[in-house]
Amino acid sequence: MQEEHDTLIDEEKKFETKEDFWHAMIDLKARGDANEVELFFLHRPKKFMNTKLPGEDEVMAWLKEEIEEKLGRPLMVELNEKGIIVPK
């Protein structure tokens, strides 16, 4: 599993646009793997760290349900004052 996360992190460095980043995250969410989506935001590329993407609040609500309620552990990410998902 760590190897999968390492690959994901390496792929993140290649995102040219915020749309590429967002589409990759949506694909992860569609697979239903909340852990990978959370990891994706933990390693959000610096060039998109202050960019609010459409639907971040919905993704955060989904993460909260999947991780806190179903998996029973606290989230490692949060919405900041601008509505951007960032590491806690």
Domain residue spans in the chain?
2-87
Q: Say what the pLDDT of residue 57 is.
A: 94
pLDDT of 6 above 80: no
Residues 33-40 have a mean pLDDT of 92
> What whole-number percentage of the chain has pLDDT above 90?
56
Find the angle CA(6)-CA(55)-CA(3) to the nearest 5 degrees.
10
pLDDT of 67 above 90: yes
pLDDT of 38 above 90: yes
Query: Could you tell me the CA-to-CA distances from 61 to 7, 29, 64, 69 in Å, in that order?
Result: 26, 12, 5, 11
pLDDT tens string 48-63: 889 999 899 999 999 9
Averaged pLDDT of the chain: 85
